[in-house]
Chain A
């Protein structure tokens, strides 16, 4: 698996051509599954669907079933969340799912094991979504090796902003996983360009200043902001945090390359079980099929 992003495309004419021919005119550059998926989405002129799942919530058996179902429902990338005891960027829903998973005794290895099982039936790209401490605790290289062996394609550390830990970031950039970077509404335009240039696979734009959690409304400025990030980014842009309904997905999908849906799926899992969550997933999927970013 090869990855795109920094290093390969950062400077010079390659970066230029990437900016204009982005997402689907990658020439002969070898790509990872994430890049391939986004290239295909662009070619098919539709927006991507990225569901988030907390590993082990409410049980590992549910996660297993949910992952397979989401792949079948047409998820383009799946974010597999490693539950953490102190999820400081998360609202009540994902706090609850993380604590629930930990109460079940879910470990990092359990999360990798369900991913490895998914790989028996699906090659949908999977990004490991984790707070830094479980990664640090295991040892970065060991964590990476286990994740790669299990079939992960990317890693998204919530609490590792650009420049926070250059040696650690370099290790993650050099590894076979795509290091997906986050951009927030508070990020300055200059830093948006830096982060987008350093990200791998895709760029994650945080839809609001705040923590995760389902919302009734998206902010009015979101579409314009996502467009600005997209214009500054050589990579596809996914938007998440608060995206909850098919209507939201359509709005996001018209401005960005993909929509990430987390808390709303967890809420639906609570109310309607795996079947309910998959029903919402299919609604979101078809809504995103109807739109594509301009």
Chain B
């Protein structure tokens, strides 16, 4: 059935044949034309759009949960939210989680997602025991770091281009409670922010909200947020028996597409509230439910509609350690002068990473939203030049518009990736609007 489909940024929109996957046996027929897998559409741009899309949302069964060893196996369309509901009451947690729990495991592998713990625990692929993938022509492979390692490393972060991941087995992480012991600290400027990342580098989780509009002495003012899973010892007698109990939150809905002018007002207000009221002193420590720590935005359904019906682009880049500071200053100045970026951005430290197309590299990553406006694409091309100048790159799962040249110049293992495609998918049976743009 032909229909209009778009992902989280609501840009671009594609006319798409969206075909649901129920059973493995259907794959031969479903992939007879070039196609791409789509999970829950939480990537921002066109990574999971193509004229033929295989939707895995209906392919979502839990297959194995070893409660002793903390090993979980499921079909690729299962969502992290469902996995959390199952594992948390048994004292297990996701090894890596993004800022929303409404993504599928297949999407987690294909984007090789990172969480607030990248600097300490790496990306999702580091915790995969094995996965199964259908690469077309009736061929299924089981892949791990040892078995078909080339296909394994190309698939993690490979944006669906190596085939349809069908099941994933991964290692969970032990927890003692549903809470996170959180520390928040204000940084008055960018230098202080970098110092705080150093200070909190031993914390499992860390990230900072950064104000992109403030100039002068307050340039780069931020709120650092670090966290650890709360241990039983930290809970009082009343909390202990309920340490692993899931809480059900209610959700706010954003029913209509808000006009985009509302936006800056809204976010300015919320940041100020955070900055001036929430953290009264310089440092604040508290315990928070894991949902609030990891998924603050999930509490507002469809928050992406805040940007109005034209959608938005999330721009996320990473710079290597050596150029992070200088690069961030120049890029943030540019954004500030142009004045069209979101007020709030997320700054995060990455640890070392190897992979073929995985996004992270040791250094710092900044992510911010740009509501769609005339002239935006040109402006972002200018930002790309700066990212290249500082030897950085853009996150493919957030991308909707990068040029092939920028992509080729910034992903050094691209050649290796293409060799794997030649070996396993010589007919290039899997392609997206994004891959057509970047590889074409």
Is the A/B pair a real complex?
A: no
